Amino acid sequence: MTTHTAGLPEEMLQIRETTRRFMREQVRPAEEKVPHDAYSLPPELLKPLQEQAKRMGLWAVRAPAEYGGGGMSLLATAVIAEETARCRMGAYVPACGAVGSNPPAPILLGTREQIEKFAVPAIRDGKKAFVAISEASGGSDPARSIRTRAVRKGDRYILNGAKMWITGAADADWGLVFARTGEQGQRNGITCFIIEGKPKGMTCREIPVIRSWSPYEVSLEDVEVPVEHRLGEEGQGFALCEKWLVEGRVPYAAGTIGIAQEALQIAIDWAKERELFRTKLAEKQAIQWMIADSEMELRQARLLVLEAAQRGDAGLNFKTEASIAKVVATETAGRVVDRCIQILGGMGVSKELPLERWYRELRIKRIGEGPSEVHRMVLARELLSLGR
């Protein structure tokens, strides 16, 4: 099945086709050699794919070209995100890690020294980074809930507190930690700090979840951070990351559409081949309607994602559009994969196919990057304020 073009310009269609061919011919065959729930490829499989991605211009696509990234638009990033999600581990490791990853964008607002020391190796060599914002006190409203505190003492800050649900913290080369330097509840009282390596006083505890790749609780006990590792000025933490958080919802949403579209193709192929009571499954009206509804909903979700991306590229405020895209895409993808499992019956929940893994992992997508309820609140407040 050919993916609906959604009015994409020719350049974007070419990028999509190039990425799709790379996934089909090289990434997915490599992934078939690792276990069902694997979250990485062994170096002998991964490195050749990464070199190929770099030659194709598919490496760290959103990172600035001057630092070794692809320097692509948000629209191109969304198109690529949809395609690179179409593998077993694609929900959280696009293209099995073959296309690298963009460093947390706030680091690119740092000093020249910070960029050279942290951002450039992340882009060029794939060095890993984590971002620690959420806490047990309330991850969906960090401006008010953050209790991790940073106190300046001479030429360094002392950090104390704990962060929750931090992906990749144990294996990262560096990370960004958001801590309170002002009064509790102040939005402008949050400051961002660069944590290098595993400093004394920092510990990571794995938190088992529904997916096999667990996040971590990161505890900070008298962790010392030099002043030169403060990102921006005191109190600028959320000003540094707000645009990045909004922008990140676009490829996040696009990836879920890619997974669901791939699941739908599996269901279509199955329905056309599977015979029950002397007729093909594809001839059953119930199956036809599930497939039709899924395709219609995916096209709608894709249009919303692309609209948000285009507004972002045009320099317009797209916070509301990003929230809409995130909710619609993640919830649509969950419904579509659920239907596809139903179409395949017992085979749908077997580990011979990726559907059951996608079903588990898409459930997290409705929580990550802000739960659906928070984004609905953002939209409602925007509409109500406009109506006054």
- How would you class 125 by CB atoms within 10 Å of its CB: exposed for 0-12, middle for 13-18, buried for 19 or more? exposed
Pull the structure tokens for residue 69: 């990234």
8-64 pLDDT per residue, tens: 999 999 999 999 999 999 999 999 999 999 999 999 999 999 999 999 999 999 999
Same domain, yes or no, for 261 and 347? yes
115-138 pLDDT per residue, tens: 999 999 999 988 999 999 999 876
Same domain, yes or no, for 218 and 140? yes
Same domain, yes or no, for 142 and 206? yes
Judge whether 5 lies within some domain.
Answer: no
- How would you class 31 by CB atoms within 10 Å of its CB: exposed for 0-12, middle for 13-18, buried for 19 or more? buried
Judge whether 316 lies within some domain.
Answer: yes
Same domain, yes or no, for 50 and 83? yes
Same domain, yes or no, for 335 and 310? yes
**Which segments of 135-215 are extended strands (E)?**
149-153, 156-166, 174-180, 190-196, 202-206
Cα–chain center distance at 292: 27
Question: What does the pLDDT read at residue 184?
Answer: 74
Which of 74, 108, 142 lies at the terminal end of a domain, its last residue?
108
Judge whether 220 lies within some domain.
Answer: yes
Gyration radius of the chain's alpha carbons? 22
- How would you class 329 by CB atoms within 10 Å of its CB: exposed for 0-12, middle for 13-18, buried for 19 or more? buried
Kindly tell me if the per-residue pLDDT of 4 is higher than 80: no
Judge whether 330 lies within some domain.
Answer: yes
Which of 215, 231, 247 lies at the terminal end of a domain, its last residue?
231
352-381 pLDDT per residue, tens: 999 999 999 999 999 999 999 999 998 998
Map residue 157 onto helix, strand or coil.
Answer: strand
Judge whether 288 lies within some domain.
Answer: yes
Residue 327: closest CA among 373, 381, 364: 373
231, β-bridge pairs: 192
Judge whether 113 lies within some domain.
Answer: no
203-253 pLDDT per residue, tens: 999 999 999 899 999 999 999 999 999 999 999 998 888 888 999 999 999
Answer yes or no: are the C-beta atoms of 350 and 356 closer than 8 Å: yes
Same domain, yes or no, for 146 and 164? yes
336-359 pLDDT per residue, tens: 999 999 999 999 999 999 999 999
Same domain, yes or no, for 226 and 301? no
Cα–Cα distances (Å) from 377 to 191, 198, 205, 384, in that order, read 26, 37, 32, 10
Active-site choice (51, 369, 373, 382): 369
73-93 pLDDT per residue, tens: 999 999 999 999 999 999 999
How many structural domains does the chain have? 3
Domain that holds residue 357: 239-386
Question: What does the pLDDT read at residue 251?
Answer: 97
Same domain, yes or no, for 377 and 247? yes
Residue 31: closest CA among 13, 49, 57: 49
Judge whether 377 lies within some domain.
Answer: yes
Same domain, yes or no, for 280 and 214? no
Same domain, yes or no, for 156 and 87? no
Kindly tell me if the per-residue pLDDT of 387 is higher than 50: no
Which of 197, 231, 265 lies at the terminal end of a domain, its last residue?
231
User: CATH no. for residue 352?
Assistant: 1.20.140.10
Cα four-point dihedral sign 102, 106, 108, 111: negative
Any catalytic annotation for residue 275? no
Question: What does the pLDDT read at residue 249?
Answer: 96
Say how far apart CA 257 and CA 277 lie, in whole Å: 33
Cα–chain center distance at 303: 19
User: CATH no. for residue 204?
Assistant: 2.40.110.10
Q: List helix spans (H) across 314-354.
A: 319-344
Judge whether 168 lies within some domain.
Answer: yes
Question: What does the pLDDT read at residue 385?
Answer: 81
Residues near 336 by Cβ (< 8 Å), separated by ≥ 6? 260, 263, 264, 294, 297, 298
283-306 pLDDT per residue, tens: 999 999 999 999 999 999 999 999
- How would you class 42 by CB atoms within 10 Å of its CB: exposed for 0-12, middle for 13-18, buried for 19 or more? exposed
Same domain, yes or no, for 83 and 174? no
Same domain, yes or no, for 42 and 62? yes
